[in-house]
Structures are given as structure tokens and as C-alpha cells.
Chain A
Amino acid sequence: MGTNTTRITLTLGRRQAMLAALITGAAILSSRSWLEADMARHMLIEFPLLLIAGLATAKALPERAVALIMRFNQLGLAGFTFVSLTAAYWMIPVALDQALLSAPAAAAKYTSFLAAGMLLPFSFQAAPLAMQAFFVGNWVWMTATVGLLYQNTPQQLCVNYLFGTQLAAGEGLVAAAIAIAALWCVYAVPAYLDMNR
């Protein structure tokens, strides 16, 4: 009976997750021009929303797909690699401009962030604490450094974004780096220790 209950909740969870992914996706698409009109909104609202949509997709995946992903994701390495590369690539000013000027680049941006969000929980599940620390730590210093660079560069970095929104994006990236470092320490570490007691 316990098994049945678990299975029912899982099924419901999957549907709800799919719904959440669709709603987030629709929200991003419908407010796309507003989100992307400002560098800070683009990087600090749209990117995380895409990750969340991807995360919800992960919860909606059938077990077979999860098993397939995990086959290529020993200790979470491949997933973390993908997330790191995605995060790094879209912080390059010319890449961000391309995402606004070319449809294929925009499609690549949406797809890569959705996939990154989808891979994230599977990697955290599979990764030992040291692996998590390595990737989270790397992302944190990289993001904080880019944030500081955005703030300290005297020229406008993106042809599509005003200098002022570049400063705001820079401040936001530093704040996000600090927040993620803190969240990982407060939530991910105890959760990991709990699970592996």
C-alpha cells in the first residue's frame, strides 16, 4: 500500500512538474521582450527562469530518460560540466548580443539553459560533496569576477544594452554569486550529509 501511495504521488508530481515547466516557459515567452530589454533582467531574471523551467522538466521526465542521463553522468560530472559551460558562455558580452540579434543564437540560449536546469538536480543527486564544492565554487568565483568586470569596464559592453543596465547586471551577478554560495552551504551541504549518514 505504501508503494502505491508513493507511485501515485510520483505520477501526480510528474504532471504538476510538467505543468510548472509549461507555465514558466509560457511566462518567459510572453514577457520575453521586457525581460531582454535590460541586461540585468535578461541575466538575472530570464536565465534563472529558464533554469527553473528546466528543473521542472527534470521532475517530469520518465524514469527511463532519467536512467539514460545518469548513465552518462557519473558523479554528476557531465551535468555540472554542461551547466558551467552554459553559464560561462552566456556571460560573454558578444554572446549575449548575438542572442538578441540572431534567432539561432537565441534558440541556442533557451535550449542550453533549459537543458542546464534539467541536468542540475541529476548532477546534485549523483555528485559527492567534493564534486559539488568544485563546481559550485567555480561558478561562484567566475560569476562574481564577471560581475565585477561588468561594473569596472568603462565602456558599454553590449551594443544592445545601455551602460547603466550593465552596471546593474554586474552588481546582480555578484549578489547572485554570494547568494548561491550561501544557499549551497545552508541547504545542499546539510541535505547531502543527511542523505549519506
Chain B
Amino acid sequence: MTGRPMAPPASWLGTAIASCTMIGVAAAALWSVTFGLRGWTAEAIRRLRVPTDPPQLQALRLDTSTGISLVPWGNREATPRIWLVTFMYTRCPTFCSVLGIEFERLQRQLTADPRNAGIGLLSISFDPAHDDVQALQRYATAHHAEPGRWIVAVPDSRAALARIERQAGVVVIDDGFGGFAHNAAIHVVRADGRLVRIFDLNQPEAALAWARTQRESR
């Protein structure tokens, strides 16, 4: 016996089976992670998945800018409404203030058109450390939110916030400047707690039109 190990016998059949198995497993993983090759980013897939597989959001208790406690969906207390929901934090200098302006515009449309009765706007803060009732109130006042139309609120506990984020697929990360970055969108949520559609921030009209069809179909 020599110090050098003998070259082990290699088999083409074994190699072919091994390689093809790996390719098969990788293809299956790719198919599953990209939602059937329909999306390459988590956010695109989240939005694509919702219409066919609407997530059930658990009942959520919110503290609102007007100082009341509210459950928007998911239990008997829930207001029978279709909600257009966005997640935000009041100190947000970019997206959320654009969103605030968009919601302000939507609110005017809601009020102007009686077909929009039963559709509500809801801004949920994911920053309970800063967004107390006063902060929410300042935001609501700055954007002329009417409490009957547009609710600005924060979940009543950290656990409730974490749960709604997880169930809706909202991911909030530190932006490195003391603020947050998040996958901002307009979420259409029915009174039974089903998240049925997700629209881009720049499509508030589409979100409203779709919410109206939901209301009419009930």
C-alpha cells in the first residue's frame, strides 16, 4: 500500500443520477419560492399570492388618534366595513407623507360619492415607541383625517403589532437614520379579516374601485 490513496472508481450512472436529482430538487425549490416563476421578490409574490390565498388577519385592537379603542375586523365588535389599510409611522418623512396626501385625497372621494359608504381608511402605525395618541392626533390633524372616514391608530400591544405584521407580510426594518423602511402598500381588508388585495401606493384609485366591488358583492 502506498501513501497516496488510489483513485476511487467513479460511475457515470451514479453521477448522472446525482446531478439530475440535484437539478430536480433545485427546480422544485425555485418553483415554490418564486410562486410558480411569477415573481422574484418577496414583495411581488406577497401581492400575487393574496387574491388566490387571502391571509386571515386575526382580530386586532387598536388605540386611535381620537383616544378610543377599536377592533376594525375579525370579531363581533368589528365595524362592517371594507378597509383600505396602510402601515406607517408618523415621523416618516418620505413614503408615509406621500401616502398621507393620497389618503387625504381618497377621503375627499369617499365623502363625495355615496357609493363609497362602507369603505373606511385605516392607517396603522408600527412605531408604538413614538406614536402615542398625541402623535397620532398630530398626524390626523395635519392630514385632515375625519374620524368617521379615516382612522389613524396603533395596535394596543407589541404582540398584536408583531402578529398583524406577520399575518399581512409586512416587514419593517431600521433605515439606519433613526427611522424605518417597510414594504408600503394599500391593503384591502374585509370586515371578516381577510386580506383580499394589495395595491401599490400609487394606485389608490384602483384600490378604492376594487373595494367598492367588494362592498357591492356582499
A residues apposed to B, CB below 8 Å? 2-3, 6-7, 63, 66-67, 70-75, 77-78, 81-82, 85, 88-89, 92-95, 97-98, 101, 108, 126, 155-162, 164
Segment from B1-9, B53-61, B147-155, B188-196 that makes contact with A: B1-9
Assuming the A-B contacts A2-B3, A7-B3, A160-B173, are A85 and B22 also in contact, with contact meaning beta carbons closer than 8 angstroms in the complex? yes
Are A3 and B2 in contact, with the CB atoms below 8 A?
Answer: yes
Are A74 and B10 in contact, with the CB atoms below 8 A?
Answer: yes
Are A93 and B10 in contact, with the CB atoms below 8 A?
Answer: no
Q: Is residue B135 contacting chain A, with contact meaning CB distance below 8 A? A: no
Residues of A within 8 A of B23 (CB): 81, 85
Are A72 and B26 in contact, with the CB atoms below 8 A?
Answer: no
Are B41 and A93 in contact, with the CB atoms below 8 A?
Answer: yes
Residues of B within 8 A of A78 (CB): 15, 18-19, 22
Residues of B within 8 A of A160 (CB): 171, 173
Are B18 and A159 in contact, with the CB atoms below 8 A?
Answer: no
Q: Is residue B43 contacting chain A, with contact meaning CB distance below 8 A? A: yes
Residues of B within 8 A of A97 (CB): 41-42, 171
Are B10 and A98 in contact, with the CB atoms below 8 A?
Answer: no
Q: Is residue B70 contacting chain A, with contact meaning CB distance below 8 A? A: no
Residues of A within 8 A of B7 (CB): 70
Residues of A within 8 A of B171 (CB): 97, 101, 159-160
Assuming the A-B contacts A7-B3, A93-B42, A94-B42, are A162 and B15 also in contact, with contact meaning beta carbons closer than 8 angstroms in the complex? no
Q: How many A-B residue pairs have CB under 8 A?
A: 99
Bound together, the chains give a CA A98 to CA B29 distance in angstroms of: 12
B residues apposed to A, CB below 8 Å? 1-3, 5, 7-12, 14-15, 17-19, 22-23, 26, 29-30, 33-34, 39-45, 171, 173, 175-176, 181-183
Are A81 and B22 in contact, with the CB atoms below 8 A?
Answer: yes
Are B3 and A70 in contact, with the CB atoms below 8 A?
Answer: no
Residues of B within 8 A of A108 (CB): 29
Bound together, the chains give a CA A67 to CA B5 distance in angstroms of: 10
21 contacts across the A-B interface (CB closer than 8 A):
A3-B1, A3-B2, A70-B7, A70-B8, A71-B9, A71-B10, A71-B11, A72-B10, A74-B11, A74-B12, A74-B15, A75-B10, A81-B19, A85-B22, A94-B41, A157-B40, A158-B41, A159-B43, A159-B173, A159-B183, A162-B175
Assuming the A-B contacts A85-B26, A158-B41, A160-B171, are A72 and B33 also in contact, with contact meaning beta carbons closer than 8 angstroms in the complex? no
Are B42 and A67 in contact, with the CB atoms below 8 A?
Answer: no
Are A72 and B14 in contact, with the CB atoms below 8 A?
Answer: yes
Residues of A within 8 A of B34 (CB): 92, 94
Give the shortest distance, in Å, between B7 (CB) and chain A (any CB).
8
Bound together, the chains give a CA A164 to CA B175 distance in angstroms of: 10
Residues of B within 8 A of A73 (CB): 10, 15, 18
Residues of A within 8 A of B40 (CB): 92-94, 157
Give the shortest distance, in Å, between A46 (CB) and chain B (any CB).
18
